[in-house]
Structure 1
Amino acid sequence: MSIPKTMKAARMHDVGSPMKIEEVPVPEVRSNDVLVKVHSCGIVPNLGNVLKNWTTWFPERPLPPLPAIFGLDPAGEIVAVGSQVHYWQPGDRVYVNPGRHCGGCRACRDGRHEHCEYYTFNGYFGFSEKSLKIFDDYPYGGLCQYMTAPQYSLVSLPDSVSYDQAARLGYLGTAYAGLRKAQIRPGQTVMVSGASGTLGLGAILLALGMGATRILGVARNKELLARVKALAPERIEVKSINDNESVEDWVQRMTANEGLDLYVDCIGPGGGHDILLSAMRVLKRGGKAVDIGAIAGDVPVDLHTVMDLQQTVIGSCWFTAAEGQDMADMAGAGTLNMSVFEHVASPLEQINEAISGIENRSGGFSNFVIHP
């Protein structure tokens, strides 16, 4: 494949300002990297807020140096490989996990890459000032036509998984990693809050694929909840928080007073704590609660009860490339149903309009992508 010298990229020059479509050099491949021609890049529902408010909300967690190319969830085709890349070949279809780590710290050498002190979301934000070194190494997010990526970040895509579907692996992986940490298994009852949203729907789909026997979904929109239940009506029950019955009473009724084995909180920073606290009160002995939504503020958890009932509260952020491969394989085998997503695709030139239009969506069923 002929690789051009320059390419189109969407770059943000100032925090909160619209992105500009510019011509920039195609990056050169280093020895352990690959060059990916981006076919689809997911845009997360929260991207607009991050671009406008991140430096105020979390000044200790840096954005990439401006002007920057954002784009968290790219999928595409490898067009060149570095001299020390042996497994991957041009023509391979891949998803690029944006999690970057240094490879040399104790956590990396121990295989705990997400605990790396340099851990960074390529094309999004970093977790400490040390992320700036990673941004120097990988300044290209997915909102451009070509990007470099370390070979450790790649997920091989089955032919049955489209690039648009693969661009959803980020949000799916967030749920998958949390469910794995909680050791989900058949026979369990799982409740998901925000069940009709982007994170919550992913948790529902993965709980189905990973064998949970009963799944309870809680959200606001009754129409979207009906669509969630229709995914597996014999295993899924749903409830709108606008109903009169309390969450606790509903859970006890649905479980014959046995309660929950696992609760997954997908409520974002703007939401309240009511559902989380209600779910904690109906966890079984030994039950687990997982937060993947980044709910904000001080949460008054009854730690005495957590101790007495030997319950666990787990925070889970993102996922590894190996976990991404698990999901791609599940999708290829049909145990992860990715056909439910309604892809809303826009060309790179319409990135600003696409970001501003994300609120007009069918909950988590909408999958917003950019085609560079």
Structure 2
Amino acid sequence: MTRTMRAARLHEVGRPMRLEEVPVPVPGPADVLVAVRAVNIVPNLANILSNWTTWFPMNPLPTLPAIFGLDPAGVIEEVGPAVEGFSVGDRVYVNPGRSCGGCRACREGRLVQCASFAFSGYFGFSATSMGLLDRYQGGLADYMIAPSRSLVKIPASLSFEAAARFGYLGTMYSALRKAGAGPGRSVLVNGITGTLGIAAALLAPALGITTLYGTGRDRGLLEEIDKLAPGRFRLHSLLDGPVDEWIAERTGGAGVDVYIDALGPGAPHETLQQGVRALSRGGVAVNIGAVAGEVPLDLHRMMDMDQTVRGSVWFTAGEGQHMADMVGAGSLDLSPLRHHVFPLDDVNQAMNNIEVRHGGFSNFVITPNPGH
């Protein structure tokens, strides 16, 4: 008899998800079956489910009806015969980044640059993503399958709810690594009060970042972030003046080594431009917030200053393992996150409630298969 499970499936863009009984997926030889204990409801998911086909038709959704859910964590229940290094009962975070394994980028280890790269339970980046999207669906179900190469072993000290936040944490972590952030380096994060930005405040002590500058609009949230590491951060409300002028005053005109833009698609271009102008000679700017549209930059100045501007779209399972190990070692503290937990039955309600959140501190989580 075919095993069944509960799943929240989207049948039509712009309509609520439906709770249904569907067959439990069967893992392939190199896959695992995960009992999903928690899955993060990211703020952008509502846009994916309601507007994506209009806004970004070049980035396909999985074939509908489909199971969404970007950031799952849970317990391995079955392993395929070709799986090495993982066993039934392991606690894991499932990195939703999917790559084909066969293209040149994959064979060179550049997994996020795979020609068919896709976010399981979210969307793909090209027409060739469809196979991966349809094979590996998302976490809003009792069970899901995933390739073992996407797994991150998580320690007992890391709750499933906090692990389900690894997508946003990992996006910031990878951006900081690509920019060379660490001891002796100064970092400016635009949007530090948001879901992406707060990751920098949590990661900075673990990475040994010497000086972390952060901006946001909400002064109350900035005060809360300051309390995470009293005296370590330098924070500024965007209501109090341009970012580049503030950084110039703080650094004697030298600027910062690294600039991370964590502001979303609706953010004004001026703030990003100010952040780039705040860079020092040889500075690196990384965009992870998806500021939309064409942004004018002074390329001649950037040439003279030997600066770099780049994007960073995601992180690898290896980078996710780094973060899990930092939690296990006690150097990365995720306790400031505030978990708002909903059963799978209330997934549509959770989607509606996510707009009322306490900045990046709020972590909205669905628990499809909570276990015992």
TM-score bin (small chain): over 0.9
Asked whether the 8 Å contact 1:35–1:79 carries over to 2, the reply is yes
* Residue 104 (structure 1) aligned to one of 78, 102, 105: 102
Taking the aligned partners of 1:326 and 1:14, their CA distance within structure 2 comes to: 38
Residue 194, structure 1, aligned to residue 191, structure 2: yes
Name 1:230's counterpart in structure 2: 227
> Partner residue of 1:172?
169
For 1:86 and 1:180, how far apart are their aligned partners in 2?
28
Distance in 1 (CA, whole Å) between partners of 2:247 and 2:366 is 39
Matched, 1:184 2:181: yes
Q: Give 1:250 deviation, angstroms.
A: 1.6
The residue type equivalent to 2:237 in the other structure is S
Aligned counterpart for 1:242 among listed residues 239, 242, 246: 239
Distance 1:233 1:164 in 2: 26
Q: Structure 1 residue aligned with 2:91, among 66, 90, 93?
A: 93
Match of 1:28 among 13, 22, 26: 26
TM alignment of 1:265-276, pairs within 5 A: 265-276=261-272
- TM-score, normalising length: structure 2: 0.97
User: Which residue identity is paired with 1:132?
Assistant: M
Residue 143 (structure 1) aligned to one of 140, 144, 147: 140
| Structure 2: gaps of 5 or more residues | none
Residue correspondence of structure 1 range 206-217 to structure 2 within 5 A = 206-217=203-214
AA in 2 matched with 1:321:
A
| AA at the equivalent of 1:94 | V
Residue by residue over 1:297-323, the C-alpha shift from the partner in whole angstroms, topping out at 9 and shown as x without a partner, is: 111100001101100102000100000
Q: CA RMSD in A?
A: 1.2
Q: Which moved more, 1:344-353 or 1:270-279?
A: 270-279
Q: Output the CA distance in 1 between the equivalents of 2:82 and 2:242.
A: 58
2:210 is the counterpart of 1:221:
no
> Relative to structure 1, is the Cα distance of residues 234 and 4 closer, same or farther in structure 2, using a 3 angstrom cutoff?
farther
Q: Does structure 2 conserve the Cα–Cα contact (< 8 Å) formed by 1:61 and 1:127?
A: yes
The equivalent residue for 1:46 is 44
Distance 2:67 2:329 in 1: 34
* Contact 2:30–2:83 (8 Å) recurs in 1: yes
Residue 324 of structure 1 corresponds to 320
Moved over 6 A (4+): none
Once the 2 structures are TM-superposed, how far is the Cα of residue 262 of structure 1 from its aligned partner? 0.7
Letter in 1 for 2:200: A
Query: For 2:122 and 2:259, how far apart are their aligned partners in 1?
Result: 28
State the number of aligned residues. Answer: 368
Provide the residue aligned with 1:280 in structure 2. 276
Confirm or deny: 8 A CA contact 1:179 1:207 kept in the other structure: no
Q: Is the 8 A contact 1:178 1:292 kept in 2?
A: yes
Contact 2:215 2:235 in 1 (8 A): yes
CA distance in 1, matches of 2:113, 2:189: 26
The one of 292, 297, 303 aligned to 2:299: 303
Q: Determine the structure 2 residue equivalent to 1:349.
A: 345
| Aligned counterparts, 1:102-141, within 5 A | 102-138=100-136, 140-141=137-138
Out of 166-175 and 331-340, give the one that drifted further.
331-340
